[in-house]
Structure 1
Amino acid sequence: MSDQEALTPSSPIHLDGTTLEGGGQLLRLALSVSSLTHIPIHVTNIRGKRGPKSAPGKGGGLKPAHLAGVQWLAGATQAETQGMEVKSKELVFRPRSTAIRAAREERQGEDPDRRTNNEAFCVWKEIKLHGVLIRREARVSMASPGAITLILQAILPYLLFSSSVSVNDPRTGVPLRVTIEGGTNVSNSPSIEYVDQVLLPLLTSKLGTPPIFMTLHQRGWSTGRIEIGSATFDISPMKPRFTIPAFKFQERGQLVKVHVSIIAPGAVARSSIREQVTVQLLAYDPEIEIVFPLDEESGGDKRMYLLLVAETSNGYRLGRDWSQFSGSTVRAKGEKLVSKVVEDLKRELEKGGCVDEYMQDQLVVFQALAAGVAEVDSGEGSEATLHTQTARWVAEKVLGVKFDGEGRCKGVGFVAGEDFLGRNRTKEDAEKAMAGLQM
């Protein structure tokens, strides 16, 4: 009997990659939850609905950007995998549980201070000062400008919750620094600015996670001249036994401020965008404060980006953005960009919800992990997006939670550092499992 067979379910949970949205999000969330809980998964028809419009479903499989996340999580969890290669349309992912790692180290008589080359920590570089471990560092590299934020989406829950691999592990609580190389502003993906200004503050202020700090080293673009960028995320893991409490996002409060981030070619174009945004926002609400945290040269006429983040009196943040790559002139592109993003933000605000359309699906994993009922008010008449429906479906399949028609979910109460699979294991089961480790 192998270590894996001893302490994990014998049959992976099957997930059909053509379900609902049928893209990369299904895989990312499944991997994220599997890595935390050590529940094995088997994903078939990966990205089964992706492909050119003329031949939908013909462009699926793992791209290098997806594979980077899979490989990192596989290394971090000592996962046994099948199909971990570019273009693979099928993946089996079996992470080893905390109990297995501890048992293997004890069986092998391994000194915790000599685990640098152990496969359990192969993704981490240990930074020491005067012999004391002060930080672990990791790097996830992509040779193409795939979205950095989508890699982060896949690995962030693991970084927050399971870096405390054991309550008794002296390494518990060591700060983490993860650098991801790829694209920072990629079409159909959250931008690095959106994550930094909307997602990360929301996790800290509303869910109680430790602050996460982002440092942008270089911007990565897939338009114009291809460039690979990089960003570093400094993360303090959850303390052992931490759980996200039941939460309810409601009563958004009044609009008090809008943060405007502009990336465009040339000072004249950026000044024009700034003026247009100001005029249109003040016409909507003359009392709001407008601030400009980012005004940056894009380095090319085909690169233009605008993010508006609405901040409310009750501490919620709603963002809308867009990258404009087409248009006859820079001026025409700027005008189109401003009009679209301002109108999108106004529609979000008029719905009265606490989160924007793009945040819905990113909160699903935290709802499913929470200790109690978690509810997110997305606004009057707001329906779950296809991405959100897909995320909920994955959470239901893997964790067994249920989302109702209003988006409420009673989470599993995941505890930082816990052996999730061992929750319902009897003493007899544990003894049999540990006996299996010696075979």
Structure 2
Amino acid sequence: MWGRLLDRATMLTIDGSYGEGGGQILRTALALSAVLDRPVLIEKIRAGRRNPGLQAQHLAGVKALAEITRAEVEGATVGSTSLRFVPARIAHGAYRWDVGTAGAISLVLQAILVPLAFAPAASHIAITGGTHVPWSPPFPYVEQVLLPTLQGMGLRVSLRLGRWGFYPKGGGMVEGTIEASTLRPVTLTRRGSLTEIVGLSAVAGVPTDIAERQRQRALARLSSLGVPCRIETSAVQASSPGTVLFLLIRCEGGRAGFSSLGARGKPAERVSDEACDEVFVYLEQEGVADPYLADQLLLPMALASGSSSMTTTRVTEHLLTNRWVVEQFLPGRVRVEGGVGQPGRVTVEGAGR
């Protein structure tokens, strides 16, 4: 059973502590391993973090990709700092995964969306966990920023928010369908003028006036931009109380999204200020892709048929680390111009898988 696992002649070794050394290395490496049919050994996983090694949230992504690819896996346990992953083939199917409590559903989606596009037929997914939790894109960002961009690259995917899930209990659900797709290159280099801002201020298990306070603060701050600004309010059901403000920025040549989550003792006005501050920083810089989108587009760009390019308002350590991972599988295909913390330009020569 483990013969292929021990064949290091074809196995690519990845240093999981490189760069920012987080879970993104794991997700990108395993997704590329799946699509390119390249066994991979990831060592020193999250070595520099306070809780090094695989955590439950990371394991959910590992197990999901292992199921999709019928992979042989060694080291898939909590706390493991080494993981061997040998994919067989990408299979379509009906998949259900539980990230556990408030583990981020969006991070599992980052790992599985592109690989499932290379399956021979459509797959149906249902993932439970956190939909609006810290340190990960909330579902509105996935739905309104990431998905439209991927769909523009040819990815045939639809997702639906079935249940909301805030920290700490989670309990949210996202369902969707990913069809067999061919990825096309994309050019996101000219932002153009700001056309409108739309948003959502939502609460669960707390007074609904908090949603209105978040909304009013954001409208007051964004009014200086001189474009239509519409923010809806919503009171939703969830296992844990929570609040969120999400703002979608629409420009002539692209879109971006920014959000902030509430917390005990955190005023509604501060929630709004955090999201609005990011909007103003984005608009003050040149670039189309916000820092979060730039990071997430490297994988599909690397697997598209042809040359892709994008400008981003801020080059991050995440982006540079992700570039390094892609280049371990596909050398010489990614170029990033611009220093960390500065606007930049990314060019990717896709492998055409």
Q: Answer yes or no: same fold by TM over 0.5.
A: yes
CA deviation after TM superposition for structure 1 residue 299, in Å: 6.1
In structure 2, the residue matched to 1:408 is 346
Taking only the aligned residue pairs, the percentage that are identical comes to 29
Structure 1 SS opposite 2:174 = strand
- Mapped contact 2:201–2:211 kept (Cα < 8 A): yes
Q: What TM-score comes out, normalization by structure 1 length? A: 0.73
Question: Where do residues 30-429 of structure 1 align in structure 2 (5 Å cutoff)?
Answer: 30-51=29-50, 59-97=51-89, 136-160=93-117, 162-164=118-120, 174-205=121-152, 207-210=153-156, 212-223=157-168, 226-238=169-181, 242-245=182-185, 247-264=186-203, 265-283=206-224, 285-286=225-226, 288-292=227-231, 295-297=234-236, 303-314=242-253, 316-327=254-265, 333-379=267-313, 382=314, 384-406=315-337, 407-415=345-353
CA distance in 2, matches of 1:391, 1:322: 24
1:90 Cα offset (Å)? 0.4
Q: 1:3 to 1:43 in 2, by over 3 A?
A: closer
Question: Does the 8 A contact of 1:244 with 1:413 survive in 2?
Answer: no
Residues 350-401 of structure 1: CA deviation (Å, up to 9, x unaligned): 213111111111011122122332211113xx3x211111110100012223
Q: Distance in 2 between matches of 1:75 and 1:182?
A: 18
2:306 aligns to what SS in structure 1?
strand
Whichever residue aligns with residue 273 of structure 1, its letter is Q
Task: Count residues in correspondence.
Answer: 343
Q: 1:14 to 1:192 in 2, by over 3 A?
A: same
- 1:9–1:96 CA distance, 2 compared to 1 (3 A): farther
Residues 410, 260 of structure 1: CA spacing in aligned structure 2 closer, same or farther, 3 A cutoff? closer
Question: How far off its partner does 1:64 sit?
Answer: 1.8
8 Å contact from structure 2 (residues 199, 247) kept in 1? yes
> For the structure 1 residues 95 and 218, does the alpha-carbon distance in structure 2 shift closer, same or farther, using more than 3 Å as the test?
same
Distance in 2 between residues matched to 1:389 and 1:377, nearest whole Å: 14
* Equivalent position SS for 1:304: strand
Deviation at 1:298, TM superposition (A): 6.7
Change (3 A) 1:371 1:324: same
**Contact 1:401 / 1:409 at 8 angstroms: preserved in 2?**
no
Give the secondary structure class of the aligned counterpart of 1:20: coil
Q: Structure 1 residues 311, 43: CA separation in 2 closer, same or farther (over 3 Å shift)?
A: same
Contact residue 302 and residue 326 of structure 1 kept, 8 A: no
Aligned to 2:342: none
Distance 1:317 1:228 in 2: 29
Partner of 1:15: 14
Structure 1 residue 72: Cα displacement: 2.1
Q: 1:70 to 1:339 in 2, by over 3 A?
A: same
Shift of 1:297: 4.1
Cα displacement string for residues 63-107 of structure 1 (whole angstroms, at most 9, x for unaligned residues): 122112212211222222211222211001111257xxxxxxxxx
Query: C-alpha distance in 1, partners of 2:230/2:54?
Result: 40
Point out the more displaced range, 257-266 or 390-399. Answer: 257-266
Bigger Rg, structure 1 or 2: 1
Offset of residue 402 of structure 1: 3.6
AA aligned opposite 1:312: C
The 8 Å contact of residues 160 and 174 in structure 2, kept in 1 or not, is answered as: yes
Find the aligned partners of 1:27 and 1:400 in 2 and give their Cα distance: 18
Runs of 4+ off more than 3 Å: 1-5, 297-302, 407-410
Residue 48 of structure 2 aligns to a residue whose secondary structure is coil
Where relative contact order (Cα < 8 A, 6+ residues apart) is larger, the structure is: 1
Per-residue Cα deviation, 1:27-53 (whole angstroms, up to 9, x for no partner): 0110011011111111011111221xx
Structure 1 residue 3 displacement after superposition: 8.9
Q: 1 or 2, which has the higher strand percentage?
A: 2
TM-superposition CA deviations, 1:125-150 (whole Å, max 9, x none)? xxxxxxxxxxx421111332200000
